[in-house]
Amino acid sequence: MSQIDDIRMQVMWNRLISVVEEQALTLIRTAFSTSVREAGDLSAGVFDREGRMLAQAVTGTPGHVNTMAEAVPHFIAEIPRAEMFEGDTYVTNDPWKGTGHLHDITMVSPSFKDGELVGFFACTAHVVDVGGRGFGADGKSVYEEGIQIPIMKFAERGVVNKDLLRANVREPNQVIGDFYSLAACNDVGHRRLVAMLGEVGLGNLDELAAFIFARTHAAMMERIAALPKGTWANEMLTDGYDEPINLAARVTIGEGNVHVDFDGSAPVSRWGINVPIIYTKAYACYAIKCVVAPDIPNNSASLAAFSIASPGNILNAERPAPVSLRHVIGHMVPDLVLGALAKALPGRILAEGAASLWNVHISVRPAAGQAGRRAEVLMFNSGGMGARPGLDGLSATAFPSGVQTMPIEATEQTGPIVIWRKELRPGSGGAGQYRGGLGQVIEIAPAEGHEFDFSAMFDRVRTPARGRDGGGPGAPGRVALDDGTLLRPKGWQHVPAGRRLVLHLPGGGGFGDPAERAPEAKADDRLKDYVTDAPE
């Protein structure tokens, strides 16, 4: 291939990334649920006709993007080529063939040009409700957690299956609206792809796919070759549901491959905090890539450099294990893997952070004898990131998921609740040469004449984020009512009319010896009330 051909292919590669970015923005702009349009809890990507991911939108979460890369081949295996038609859209929320739990909807659409199948577009998004017990850890099996949609056709030749879902969910308009948004974003990607191929004179994606995968593979092999070779281990204790859960990982860097083995982790839980292997792999790969090759595009060739094993434990839960809150443990996987890599690459890895999102699902209704309305409200909230080598940790920032926090104004529009306080939590960042990121304090109350049940999905309450290289731990989280009544960090609980739910989100761990923190940084901390000696 000549240099001119190389340049031409690189331009088309960049163009393909712009196609999937527009695909993702279509989903954000048309979605009904705040988790999609405000928080960006989604993914979008384009695949070749063999189901290999060519490009992903930057907008989206690693848990969605990397599971989507594994999911598309499941669709291809399930739906014969002879039954794929122009105008089709396929759907599933199967946790083991999609993104790890029932609340995420994955849609895949075949893309045809001049009657030839040239590839697929795929997208995922979290919807507010899928029936069952609701979004929480209390289910004893996946059958209690909501409606299960096997891989099937949402639309055939452009005709939508309108009977799907409406009678099975609490918020049918929001959920069905999100289904149409998912289908629409794939359609936008398809139209932009066909226009691009016509403009550059290509009949299909084969030549461009070969270029993308070859260049990505070569770059990944170069990066892995520069790493030290060997095996390093790490363990982490998490809160669990009713008893602590230990996670273990061994990272082996070999010739052309990085392998993670999660043997030694706790067994499958009877509560809905188990993690399907597809989700464990997604976040393990993300952690490695953050260290090894953050600047190399994420596609099937870059992901192929990583492998995992997790024999028969909470990080490889099999059907019918309950998995609704798979993100709580799954979001701990990057810190677990990074802890092992810190031993291979001392001084280069950030400290532990809050990790898992502090999601709260609120089911609000009129109090006894009061008029009002019912609603399902979902909030994503973030604690502090761990401090980084050379930089303080980011406060109230979702790492590793990357989602945004919904604005208060948007959240209050979805149901009769009032958010009285949402501010940084002084003193929650771990001490160090570089301070851990701060958590938040959030107060939520039912609107006048209402009460609510809420599903707690919180961790780092009993087991705070650890510091790195002499840094101190972040502050643990706390869940309570405004009268001081302590609540459980997981499970459905009640907030009566007139009371407020108060969340103290955990902070990130510090990095380096606190005695070495620069005097001007200490002064800035005091000026901004980031540190405090007073008890909360």
Phi, psi angles (nearest 5°) of residue 236: -145, 135
DSSP 511: B
- Whether the pTM exceeds 0.85: the reply is yes
DSSP symbols for 119-178? EEEEEEEE-S--STT-SSS--SSGGGSS----SEEEEETTEE-TTSSGGG-S-HHHHHHH
pLDDT at 392: 98
Phi, psi angles (nearest 5°) of residue 463: -125, 90
Q: Strand, helix or coil at 192?
A: helix
HEC sequence for 22-76: HHHHHHHHHCCCHHHHCCCCEEEEEEECCCCEEEECCCCCHHHHHHHHHHHHHHH
Question: In this structure, are residues 290 and 282 in contact, taking their beta carbons and an 8 Å threshold?
Answer: no
Strands 159-160 and 89-92: unpaired
Cα→Cα distances 178→59, 175, 225, 277, Å: 17, 5, 44, 26
pLDDT at 535: 44
pLDDT at 124: 96
Strand partners, 42: 125
Q: What is the rounded end-to-end Cα distance, in angstroms, of the chain?
A: 65
The Cβ of residue 139 has, within 10 Å, a number of other Cβ atoms equal to 23
pLDDT at 84: 98
354: left (phi over 0), alpha (psi -120 to 50) or beta: alpha
Measured at the CA of 373, the angle between CA 367 and CA 378, to 5 degrees, comes to 95
pLDDT in tens, the chain (536 residues): 677 788 999 999 999 999 999 999 999 999 998 889 888 899 999 999 999 999 999 888 999 999 999 999 999 999 999 999 999 999 999 999 999 999 999 999 999 999 999 999 999 999 989 999 989 999 999 999 999 999 999 999 999 987 766 778 888 888 999 999 999 999 999 999 999 999 999 999 999 999 999 999 999 999 999 999 999 999 999 999 999 999 999 999 999 999 999 999 999 999 999 999 999 999 999 999 999 999 999 999 999 999 999 999 999 999 999 999 999 999 999 999 999 999 999 999 999 999 999 999 999 999 999 999 999 999 999 999 999 999 999 999 999 999 988 889 999 999 999 999 999 999 999 999 999 999 999 999 999 999 999 999 999 999 999 999 999 999 999 999 999 999 999 999 999 999 999 999 999 999 999 999 999 999 999 999 999 864 44
CA distance 3 to 183: 38
CA distance 491 to 535: 27
Amino acid occupying residue 309:
A
What is the distance of C-alpha 143 from the center of its chain? Answer: 23
